[in-house]
């Protein structure tokens, strides 16, 4: 228990006398006990280490040291023990921010003026964790105003002083009231003068002005409690804080608020500015199911009452914002600047939006010479913010000159090679879609009356011709040697719609691979399909390797289409949907249903930092109508609609677990004798090999943590906050999936461990695997074009089209690739998305304050950290192993996306706790 050194209750006017020493009986409440220590007696004989066990208390034998202290207190104060007081000092650290509290205060004012203004800017109230033993009611809080004492760098320190009585008990929370008209960012509160040493409360939170909201902010201490174990003095606060965070679901949210509520994706379109920007509502319907986002309460559009109006200010709960607190180089701040400065500058510099690259050397110039940008108002700021992109040519000019991706540095022709195309399905940035072929022939599940014959045009004979000398087709199928990228059924329903858009085209596609004896994949065939449309029947064609020039170029063109499909699926499904969009409702549910003192809240909190704001930025600029995704990726204006369809068809909570994902794709089978309990279908599968190690490390940490707080199933079942949290995730947060399979029960510690491991894996390992390599593999866009702009020349081409292909196949490939504005815009975005901030928070690197105060949790975290460091060595060893050809070879990129730690910058490694970019 945290106890003041002296004995006094500031709110008690009457004088009370202790019973004689021999009649003293200890006071019990919760997990601790109260006694009356004195500051002048600090010898070891009075230390807390001499306290007897709880059992001794229950049998009536008080600890000798505590009895002595009480006797001395009576003797010193003449029996008026209540008059004995302890002076506690609280130091409050407030961060100066770009636009917050201190800046608006005006530090340039005269010293007296500032001192007067700051003298009563922060009101603190100490809250006892204990109830009054006589009345059974909460004890009165002890208050004081904090005054400014010094400044340390960007931090301003305030000090408050409290006179605390011994019967105040343990400090359970601090209430904070911001007396000024502007918000402030509160970093921490440290209380000195306690018997157990300083009490440090990490806040890292915005505190609203009392003129905006009179409700005081509550900051609990670092101790964690299940609801049933909450000290009596904190029960009301615990409940009221959750109620405040939920809000009432009414009105437009204000920027200073901390309210977490749900809404559908009805803010992607902007029909009031242009009816062509109207987009369907995602979520809340069978046609377009989707995870929920944070409710903003903005008014509805005039032209479409189902859609929400656009605004220059987007709401996220205040503590989810980072832009004014994080360093200026923080990636999201940079991303915002790319949207507002780089992209408009590119649009000015490249007038013709359809202009492609005339030859491949023109693409190389992006890295050597760059693109001259128009003058900026603040060029120095512009260049310092984007040092990797904006290079100074002269004092008056800016050039957008891209860093050469590591892949290009290693092998300039990496993107051209088929073996690299295949390798990236296992070790690239989208290792989540390749799957085992289990049935033949490949067959569509779409309605044949609408989409044409369902059977694939890829035949046994085609496959057997390619693998002759290794085995027969039937042997390959039986021995699990055939794999497929299957985007046929997902994309085919959108082919007609997309082709009606300008400057793009689309096919349904299937790509077949064969597993070589050395565990590398060999692409065998690509099938492109167009459904019946415009009075024409279904068209499909299979492209294979050829020793003839025309066949070679047709293969390259077909591969460009497949890569565009893979880029769209990666960005919209593997990346945005499965990590960003599906995690946001977990964050909302956690803040609505789990108190800040709940141990599971504190376990999950680092995995949720800044995700909601980065998602809001994405809704504003990336996935919005005519945003970067729509204008630069193959599905065009149907991109988010396609993401919704994928959510409805593919997403299940249980399959977000890495082992279950691998099994569902036929990439692994359960095997209790194999490492991690799984036998991989492709042994050299870098993402799976590293991912399973990281999955097990995370699961072990979660197991240690959960088992500490939930030693038996009854505690899980009786935890009303936890049960409400899981119910809300299933029925509201992912409400469109509530009646579908895949939701585990929450009845045992093992159930909870699995659920938490899934959520934390998605936010850390899954996101890192699909995000931080984007510039390495997409920075040279011919390797991963985001859009295909020309049909295959074999699809009903005129003689003129065919003649053009025969004479200029390279030009046709360049015309199929993204335009200059599309390519450079995406490259700039990918560079920022792949970047680690200097203050990145990596998985298992540093413990949370709440973990540190519990010795068992601290020890478990240290084991977690040790396993992660050992894992780094495992990855280095694998990348050095010449037998592992999917991660080692001439010009081959090592696989480091799941390597836990990283230095700042675009490094291609590092696993942050959360989806913060």
Give tens-digit pLDDT for 596-644.
Answer: 999 999 999 999 999 999 999 899 989 999 999 999 999 999 999 999 9
More confident residue, 890 or 32: 890
* Residues 319, 587 contacting (CB under 8 angstroms): no
Name, in order, each residue with C-beta under 8 angstroms of 766's C-beta and a sequence gap of 6 or more.
Answer: 578, 579, 656, 658
Catalytic residue, candidates 218, 259, 614, 917: 917
Active site residue 208: no
Structural domain spans, the chain? 85-246
- The C-alpha atoms of residue 289 and residue 647 are separated, in whole angstroms, by 7
Catalytic residue, candidates 767, 787, 821, 915: 767
Q: What are 640's two structure tokens? A: 């988010």
pLDDT of 845 higher than 50: yes
Read off the pLDDT of residues 132-145 as tens digits, 9 standing for 90 and up. 999 999 999 999 99
> 131 pLDDT band (50/70/90 cuts)?
very high
How is residue 209 annotated by DSSP? B
Catalytic residue, candidates 9, 561, 580, 598: 580
SS3 310: coil
Name, in order, each residue with C-beta under 8 angstroms of 433's C-beta and a sequence gap of 6 or more.
Answer: 425, 485, 487, 566, 569, 570, 574, 665
Around Cβ 739, how many Cβ atoms within 10 Å?
Answer: 9
Catalytic residue, candidates 771, 791, 879, 886: 771
From residue 270, how far is each of 111, 305, 326, 618 by CA, in Å? 49, 12, 31, 15
Q: What are 611's two structure tokens? A: 């995700």
Q: What are 823's two structure tokens? A: 């390519």
Q: Give the pLDDT confidence score for residue 179 in this predicted structure.
A: 86
* Residues 874, 566 contacting (CB under 8 angstroms): no
Q: Give the pLDDT confidence score for residue 388 in this predicted structure.
A: 65
The torsion angles phi and psi of 397, rounded to 5 degrees, stand at: -120, 155
Cα–Cα nearest to 499, from 225, 743, 796, 737: 796
Q: Give the DSSP H/E element, type plus range, for residue 68.
A: helix 64-76
Active site residue 767: yes
Cα–Cα nearest to 283, from 292, 272, 274: 292
Q: What is the CA radius of gyration of the chain?
A: 31
Q: Across all residues in the chain, what is the average pLDDT? A: 86
The mean per-residue pLDDT over the stretch 22-49 comes to 33
Active site residue 783: no
CA 722, distance to chain mean position in Å, is 21
pLDDT of 369 higher than 50: yes
Q: Give the DSSP H/E element, type plus range, for residue 142.
A: strand 142-152
Cα–Cα nearest to 611, from 756, 388, 762: 762
- Percent of the chain with pLDDT strictly greater than 70: 84
Catalytic residue, candidates 5, 561, 575, 607: 575
Name, in order, each residue with C-beta under 8 angstroms of 99's C-beta and a sequence gap of 6 or more.
Answer: 324
For 491-502, b/e burial (b = at least 16 CB within 10 A) is bbbbbebbbeee
Q: Give the pLDDT confidence score for residue 24 in this predicted structure.
A: 34
DSSP of 284-303: SSSSS----EE---PPBPSS
The mean per-residue pLDDT over the stretch 906-913 comes to 96
Q: Give the pLDDT confidence score for residue 332 in this predicted structure.
A: 56
State the number of CA atoms in the 13 A half-sphere of 860 facing the CB: 21
The mean per-residue pLDDT over the stretch 792-813 comes to 92
> 326 pLDDT band (50/70/90 cuts)?
very low
The mean per-residue pLDDT over the stretch 717-742 comes to 98
Q: What are 155's two structure tokens? A: 């931090």
Cα–Cα nearest to 440, from 484, 405, 504, 499: 484
Active site residue 575: yes
Report the range of poorest mean pLDDT among 91-105, 242-256, 820-834. 91-105
Q: Give the DSSP H/E element, type plus range, for residue 856.
A: helix 855-879
Report the range of poorest mean pLDDT among 96-100, 269-273, 676-680, 687-691. 96-100
Q: What are 461's two structure tokens? A: 């004979």
Read off the pLDDT of residues 532-556 as tens digits, 9 standing for 90 and up. 999 999 999 999 999 999 999 999 9
pLDDT of 344 higher than 90: no
Active site residue 72: no
* Residues 26, 62 contacting (CB under 8 angstroms): yes
85-246 domain in CATH 2.60.60.20?
yes
Q: Give the pLDDT confidence score for residue 33 in this predicted structure.
A: 30
């Amino acid at each position: 228990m945290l106890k003041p050194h002296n004995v006094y209750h500031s709110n008690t006017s009457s004088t009370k006398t202790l019973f004689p020493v021999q009649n003293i009986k200890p006071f019990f409440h919760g997990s601790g006990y109260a006694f009356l220590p004195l500051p002048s007696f600090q010898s070891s004989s009075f230390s807390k280490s001499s306290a007897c066990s709880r059992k001794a208390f229950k049998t009536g034998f008080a600890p000798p040291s505590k009895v002595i202290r009480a006797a001395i207190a009576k003797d010193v104060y003449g029996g008026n023990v209540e008059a004995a007081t302890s002076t506690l000092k609280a130091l409050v650290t407030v961060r100066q921010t770009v636009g917050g509290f201190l800046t608006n205060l005006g530090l340039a004012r005269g010293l007296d003026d500032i001192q007067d203004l700051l003298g009563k800017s922060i009101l603190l109230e100490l809250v006892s964790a204990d109830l009054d033993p006589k009345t059974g009611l909460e004890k009165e809080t002890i208050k004081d105003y904090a005054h400014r004492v010094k400044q340390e760098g960007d931090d301003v320190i305030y000090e408050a002083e409290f006179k605390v009585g011994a019967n105040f008990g343990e400090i359970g929370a601090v209430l904070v009231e911001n007396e000024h008209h502007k918000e402030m960012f509160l970093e921490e509160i440290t209380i000195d003068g306690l018997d157990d040493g300083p009490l440090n409360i990490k806040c890292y939170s915005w505190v609203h002005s009392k003129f905006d909201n009179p409700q005081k902010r509550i900051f609990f201490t670092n101790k964690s409690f299940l609801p049933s174990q909450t000290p009596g003095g904190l029960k009301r606060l615990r409940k009221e804080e959750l109620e405040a965070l939920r809000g009432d679901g009414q009105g437009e949210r204000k920027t200073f608020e901390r309210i977490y509520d749900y809404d559908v994706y009805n803010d992607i379109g902007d029909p009031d500015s242009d009816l062509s920007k109207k987009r369907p509502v995602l979520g809340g319907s069978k046609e377009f199911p989707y995870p929920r986002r944070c409710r903003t309460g903005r008014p509805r559009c005039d032209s479409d009452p189902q859609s929400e109006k656009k605004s220059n200010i987007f709401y996220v709960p205040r503590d989810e914002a980072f832009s004014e607190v994080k360093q200026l180089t923080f990636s999201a701040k940079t991303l915002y600047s790319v949207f507002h400065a780089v992209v408009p500058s590119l649009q000015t510099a490249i007038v013709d939006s359809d202009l492609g690259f005339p030859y491949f050397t023109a693409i190389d110039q992006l890295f050597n010479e760059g693109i001259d940008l128009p003058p900026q108002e603040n060029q120095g700021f512009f260049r310092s913010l984007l040092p990797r992109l904006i290079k100074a040519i002269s004092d008056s000019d800016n050039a957008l000159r891209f860093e050469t991706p590591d892949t290009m540095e290693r092998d300039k022709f990496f993107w051209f090679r088929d073996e690299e195309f295949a390798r990236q399905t296992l070790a690239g940035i989208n290792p989540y879609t390749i799957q085992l072929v289990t049935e033949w022939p490949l067959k569509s599940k779409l309605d044949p009356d609408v989409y044409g014959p369902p059977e694939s045009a890829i035949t046994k004979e085609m496959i057997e011709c390619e693998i002759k000398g290794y085995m027969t087709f039937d042997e390959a199928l039986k021995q699990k040697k055939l794999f497929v990228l299957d985007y046929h059924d997902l994309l085919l329903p959108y082919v007609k719609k997309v082709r009606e858009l300008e400057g793009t085209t689309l096919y349904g596609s299937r790509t077949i691979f064969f597993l070589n004896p050395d565990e590398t994949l060999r692409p065998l065939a690509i099938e492109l399909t167009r459904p019946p449309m415009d009075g024409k029947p279904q068209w499909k064609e299979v492209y294979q390797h050829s020793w003839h020039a025309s066949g070679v170029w047709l293969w390259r063109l077909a591969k460009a289409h497949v890569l565009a499909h893979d880029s769209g699926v990666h960005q919209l499904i593997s990346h945005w949907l499965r990590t960003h969009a599906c995690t946001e409702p977990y964050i909302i549910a956690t803040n609505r249903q789990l108190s800040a003192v709940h141990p599971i809240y504190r376990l999950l909190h680092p995995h949720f930092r800044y995700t909601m704001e980065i998602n809001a930025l994405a809704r504003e600029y990336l996935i919005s109508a005519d945003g970067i995704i729509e204008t630069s990726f193959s599905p065009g204006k149907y991109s988010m609609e396609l993401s919704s369809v994928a959510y409805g068809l593919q997403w299940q909570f249980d399959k977000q677990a890495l082992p279950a994902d691998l099994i569902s794709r036929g990439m692994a089978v359960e095997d209790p004798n194999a490492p991690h309990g799984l036998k991989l279908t492709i042994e050299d599968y870098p993402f799976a090999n590293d991912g399973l190690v990281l999955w097990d490390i995370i699961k072990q940490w979660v197991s240690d943590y959960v088992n500490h707080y939930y030693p038996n199933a009854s505690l899980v079942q009786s935890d009303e906050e936890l049960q409400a949290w899981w119910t809300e995730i299933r029925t509201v947060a992912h409400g469109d999936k509530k009646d579908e399979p895949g939701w585990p029960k929450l009845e045992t510690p093992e159930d909870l461990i699995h659920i938490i491991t899934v959520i934390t894996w998605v936010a850390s390992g899954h996101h890192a695997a699909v995000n931080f390599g984007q510039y390495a593999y997409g920075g040279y866009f011919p390797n991963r074009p985001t859009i295909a702009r020309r049909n295959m020349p074999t699809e009903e081409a005129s003689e003129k089209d065919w003649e053009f292909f025969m004479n200029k196949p390279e030009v046709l490939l360049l015309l199929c690739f993204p335009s200059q504005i599309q390519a450079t815009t995406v490259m700039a975005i990918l560079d920022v998305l792949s970047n680690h901030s200097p203050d990145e928070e990596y998985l298992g690197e540093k413990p949370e304050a709440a973990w540190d105060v519990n010795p068992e949790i601290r020890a478990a975290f240290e084991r977690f950290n040790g396993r992660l460091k050992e894992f780094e060595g495992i990855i280095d060893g694998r990348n050095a192993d010449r037998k592992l050809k999917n991660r080692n070879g001439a010009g081959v990129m090592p696989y480091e996306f799941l390597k836990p730690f990283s230095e700042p910058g675009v490094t291609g490694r590092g696993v942050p706790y959360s989806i913060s970019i």
